[in-house]
Amino acid sequence: MGLFCSFFAMKAEEESTKVDSIDPDNPQATGLIHFFQNAAKEWKFVTQDQYDAQKDSLPEVCFATRYPMKSFLERVKRMRANEAS
């Protein structure tokens, strides 16, 4: 699992204004947001807490993204700085 994967990071041409979370039913959701398609091929979104509570009943393929990315990138920078020292 996880042997082959791709990641893409793109920088916006200009700084954008506040963007809502990926979850259309919960635009203020922050942190790790998991999403998947149910049997009816509808996209469903769950927060990390919801994912932890439901993970045994979720489909085998689930995706996740972090919102807002800025806080994630700041955390990565801190981790790299700690590794370098």
Q: What is the mean pLDDT of residues 62-75?
A: 73
pLDDT tens digits, 13-45: 665 555 566 676 777 777 788 889 999 989 898
Cα–Cα distances in angstroms (integers) from residue 55 to residues 9, 48, 76, in the given order: 27, 10, 26
**Residue of 4 and 53 predicted with greater confidence:** 53
3-state secondary structure the chain: CCCCCCCCCCCCCCCCCCCCCCCCCCCCCCEEEEEEECCCCCEEEEEHHHHHHHHHHCCCCCEEEEECHHHHHHHHHHHHHHHHC
**Residue 30: predicted pLDDT:** 77
- pLDDT reading at 7 higher than 80: no
* Token output for 55: 């993970």
Asked whether the whole model's pTM tops 0.75, one would answer: no
Q: Which amino acid is at 71?
A: S
Tell whether the model's pLDDT for residue 9 goes beyond 60.
yes
